[in-house]
Each structure stands twice: as C-alpha cells, then as structure tokens.
Amino acid sequence: MKSDKISDAVVRRLPVYLRFLNELSHREVLTVSSQELGQKLDLNPAQIRKDLAYFGDFGRKGIGYDVSYLIEKIRQILNLDQQINVALVGAGNLGQALSNYNTYVKDNMRIIAIFDDSPDKVGQKVKDITIQPIDELEKTVRDKHIKIGIITVPDVEAQRVADQLVAAGIEAILNFAPTILKVPSGVRIHAADFTTDLISLAYYLQGGKE
C-alpha cells in the first residue's frame, strides 16, 4: 500500500522505530522482525508492520526487516536524508539546554540560529551560535533556509513569536510554551509543553481516585 493520508500517530512512531534500529545497527544486528520490535518498543507487531507498509514493502516474508535498509528508508520518509535547519527562539534556561543537547545532529537536524530579545542575551554565544535579536528572525530564517522553529519563550510571547516564524516562512513549530498557538493550516505544530504532562501524572497518584 502506498500513501493515503498518513495519520500523525503513525508519523510519531517512525522516529521511535528509527532510534531502536540505529541501536540494533550499532550492535551489528542485521535483521529484525516486527515481533522483536514490538517487544522492545511496547507496540503491537501488527501495528508496526502496518505502519511500515504505508510507505512500501520493506520486509521479507519469513525473514523480517533488514536493519540498514529499513533505517535508510525511514530516514528518507522523514526527510532526514537532507540537512534540516532549525531555529530556536528564547535563550532562557530551557532554550539553552535544548541547544546544548543537539543529539539530533546525527539525524541531520541542527539548530543553526538562536533568537532572544533580552539585551543581556543578544550577542552572547551558545556553543558557537551567536544569539540574535528577534527582529533579525525573518531575514535569517529566509537566508539560512530554516524550516523548523522551536519556541522556548515565556507563555505570553509565544503567539507573537509564532506569528513571526510563520511570516518568515517556517513550515513547522515545536512549542514548549503552555499555550495553544493559532497558526495557518499549512504550518505543522506540535505541543511539547511538559508541564501539562507532569500535572496530568498527578491524577494517577494513590489517595486520589484511581
């Protein structure tokens, strides 16, 4: 089966597969079955086969999936066969932590610009990237072909920053601010606000309702 509309739930599992496949590759495992994948990733094997089958026939009956081949294919699907430039807006604690992180470099994703408006931040360096004022955002995003924006500014500034990113032609946003952002339908947005997650965990505590 080739692509209909692929649901977001499917797309979000692809990086999970990729990560584990990379680990297998590192351990020089050549082949893996949906069964084994399911066990490790806590997913139903049928679901994994179905997810992958949306994009092509990557497996071999009776054998399973060739690890390197599947890595290559998933990387293509996720556009990770080309470099993807990312901008980060908001160089506070969290923003700086994310920049330093940059594990995703091996996945061809790279934060190549950082913006912040506070005067004591502008001009400072975070790991060889100089923090720029936000009014340079639009030009830099265009000039450097930045496709994804990460928002780590405070709550109240998030929508304004999102608008600027959109105006600059960004295609996707990862939003760490605890606000629902309104963006045009062409722009993809994912909420990454962990406080929501953390607070929802409280529901499950004993002494509360089960």
Residues in touch with a second copy (CB under 8 A): 3, 8, 11-12, 14-16, 18-19, 40-42, 77-80, 82, 84, 86, 92-94, 96-98, 100-101, 103-104, 107, 109, 147-148, 150, 171-174, 176, 178, 180, 182, 188, 190, 192, 194-209
- Spatial distance between the Cα atoms of 118 and 130, rounded to a whole number of angstroms: 13
Q: Is the dihedral of CA 83, 4, 165, 150 positive or negative?
A: negative
Q: Annotation-wise, does 149 bind a ligand? A: no
Given DNA, a second copy, none, residue 1, with its beta carbon under 5 to 8 Å by kind, binds DNA
24 marked ligand binding residue: no
- Choose the contact partner of 129 out of DNA, a second copy, none; CB within 5 to 8 A by kind: none
Can residue 24 be called a binding residue for DNA (CB under 7 A)? no
Minimum Å distance from CB 61 to a second copy? 26
User: Known binder of ligand: residue 92?
Assistant: yes
**Of 64, 92, 133, 178, which one interacts with DNA (CB under 7 A)?**
64
Stretch that binds DNA, among 33-41, 76-84, 90-98, 138-146 (CB under 7 A): 33-41
List, in order, residues 6 or more apart from 89 with CB less than 8 Å away. Answer: 95, 114, 115, 116, 134, 137, 149, 150, 151, 152, 153, 161, 165
- Is 46 labeled as ligand-binding? no
Q: Of the candidates 19, 50, 144, 190, which one interacts with DNA according to CB under 7 A?
A: 50
Round to whole Å and give the CA distance between 50 and 187: 27
Binding site for NAD(+), by residue number, is 90-95
